[in-house]
Amino acid sequence: MNQGTRTFLGTGWHWPLAITSRGGIALVHEEDDIREAILNILNTAPGERVMRPEYGCNIHNMLFAPINADTMGEITRDVYASLGRWEPRAEVLDVSVKADPDNEGRLWIHVEYRIKATHDERSLVFPFYVIPEE
């Protein structure tokens, strides 16, 4: 796609940080920039960023929580709240959290969202690891 046609969706640094073959910082564009921004929000615990201490998602408070309906409900609320606050280019349509039957310490967070400017619906699955009860 011609990079000039949809620049209103944004451009950002590729994450994890990468260098191009010409020595520049690798960038992501448009829908990929929004997807990486969502993943960045989910991967960041509030307080990690000195200049933006509220940025991130409170799911990291659930690291030692038991895997049950209460925990999954709390994670769902945290994801809705953080994405609603920190990613204005996307509208969260649905968040579901399910325990991984193959790994007792992993939850799958499925996020369905719509890019507001284009009405393009997308989804991503985010693995979240907890310390299982002993």
What are the domain boundaries of the chain?
7-129
Whether 31 contacts 24, CB under 8 Å: no
| Pair of tokens at residue 66 | 């038991």
| Pair of tokens at residue 64 | 């030692």
H or E element that contains 118: none
Backbone φ, ψ for residue 87 (5° rounding): -125, 85
Given the candidates 3.40.50.1000, 1.20.1540.10, 3.10.450.40, 3.40.50.11540, the CATH classification of the domain at 7-129 is: 3.10.450.40
Q: What digits encode the pLDDT tens for the residues 38-74?
A: 999 999 999 999 999 999 999 999 999 999 999 999 9
pLDDT of 50 reads: 93
The count of other CB atoms within 10 Å of the CB of residue 118 is 13
Q: What digits encode the pLDDT tens for the residues 27-40?
A: 766 788 888 899 99
* Predicted confidence band of residue 122 (pLDDT cuts 50, 70, 90): very high
In order, the DSSP letters of 32-52 are HHHHHHHHHHHH--TTS-TT-
| Pair of tokens at residue 97 | 């959290």
Strand partners, 117: none
What pTM did the predictor assign?
0.81
Q: What digits encode the pLDDT tens for the residues 99-119?
A: 999 998 999 999 999 999 889
